[in-house]
Amino acid sequence: MTPLEPLIIAADRALRAVLAPARAERPLPPPPPGPAETLTESERLHSAALMRINHAGEVAAQALYHGQALMARSETTRELLLGAAREEADHLAWCEQRLRELNGRPSLLNPLWYAGSFTLGALTAALGDRMSLGFVAETERQVEGHLNSHLERLPETDARSRQILETMRQDEIEHGSEALAAGGTDPINR
């Protein structure tokens, strides 16, 4: 690969994450069994606002992983980061679809979230793979707490959004565990 090719690939990933409709490899988590949900207008607006935040978070997650992958020193670390980014792309697509179902819209600031997060990911990876993977573990721990907060704040009747966020939370826990198992510095037990 020429020195310019990784930068072209990074630019392509950025454009896809921010401008193209998100596409998932895995299907949207199915709604729980039972009658279809009925949300009041207030509940719909509240759920849409929470899902907009989660969508923006998934844009940022794409960027973090893409920035870290660009600067990863080992191919093994790069592949782990890109694998997690693919799962984050599923989350992005799921949040985007749920936003449409709730008649919501994504954040207009998504290009800024991507740029800032990409830079943070690249800078972190420049410190080495162990630090980069430790950063993944800590970030995913923080995201788990964020998702727990949103699960508590969702209207009880919004089972569809709840199922999406619960699936995302499980994936985030796995990403953090995989990063530590791959040699990341443990930010809590140093």
Examine residue 133 and state whether it is found in any structural domain, yes or no: yes
Examine residue 21 and state whether it is found in any structural domain, yes or no: no
**Number of domains, the chain:** 1
The domain that contains 115 carries what CATH number?
Answer: 1.20.1260.10
Is residue 148 within 8 A of residue 169, CB to CB? The reply is yes
pLDDT band at 176 (very low <50, low <70, confident <90, very high): very high
Examine residue 116 and state whether it is found in any structural domain, yes or no: yes
CA distance 141 to 145: 7
At 158, list the tokens: 């919004």
CA distance 126 to 70: 10
Examine residue 15 and state whether it is found in any structural domain, yes or no: no
Q: Domain limits at 88?
A: 41-181
Examine residue 4 and state whether it is found in any structural domain, yes or no: no
- Residue whose pair of structure tokens reads 């950063």 in the numeric block: 135
Examine residue 186 and state whether it is found in any structural domain, yes or no: no
- pLDDT tens figures, 80-127: 999 999 999 999 999 999 999 999 999 999 999 999 999 999 999 999
Is residue 140 within 8 A of residue 172, CB to CB? The reply is yes
At 40, list the tokens: 């009041």
pTM recorded for the entire structure: 0.90
- pLDDT tens figures, 123-162: 999 999 999 999 999 999 999 999 999 999 999 999 999 9
Examine residue 5 and state whether it is found in any structural domain, yes or no: no
